[in-house]
Amino acid sequence: MKAILNNIKENLYNVFIMGNASNMQIVKVWALLAVPMLTLYVAVGHFPR
């Protein structure tokens, strides 16, 4: 579990702080941020039409 959290932390750091992330790191960060946001949109009922 600690390795997974360190991997997520490293991906976020490379994407937002360093700016030298690989394509796979960008995809992981996008999924990490998109899934909760889409869940909130669907739960609240204001999903864009």
In a domain, 22, yes or no: yes
Q: Do residues 34 and 40 touch, judged by C-beta distance below 8 A?
A: no
Answer yes or no: is 29 within a domain.
yes
Confidence class for position 11, pLDDT limits 50, 70, 90 = very high
* Spatial contact of 24 and 31, defined as CB atoms under 8 Å apart: no
**Percentage above 70 pLDDT, the chain:** 92
Task: Calculate mean pLDDT across residues 12-18.
Answer: 93
Amino acid, single-letter form, for residue 21? A
Structural domain harbouring 23: 2-44
Domain count, the chain: 1
Whether the predicted pLDDT of 17 surpasses 70: yes
For 40, which DSSP code? H
Task: Answer whether residue 27 is part of any domain.
Answer: yes
What's the gap between Cα 23 and its chain centre? 13
Per-residue pLDDT, averaged over 2-21, amounts to 93
Asked, for residue 49, whether it belongs to a domain, the answer is no
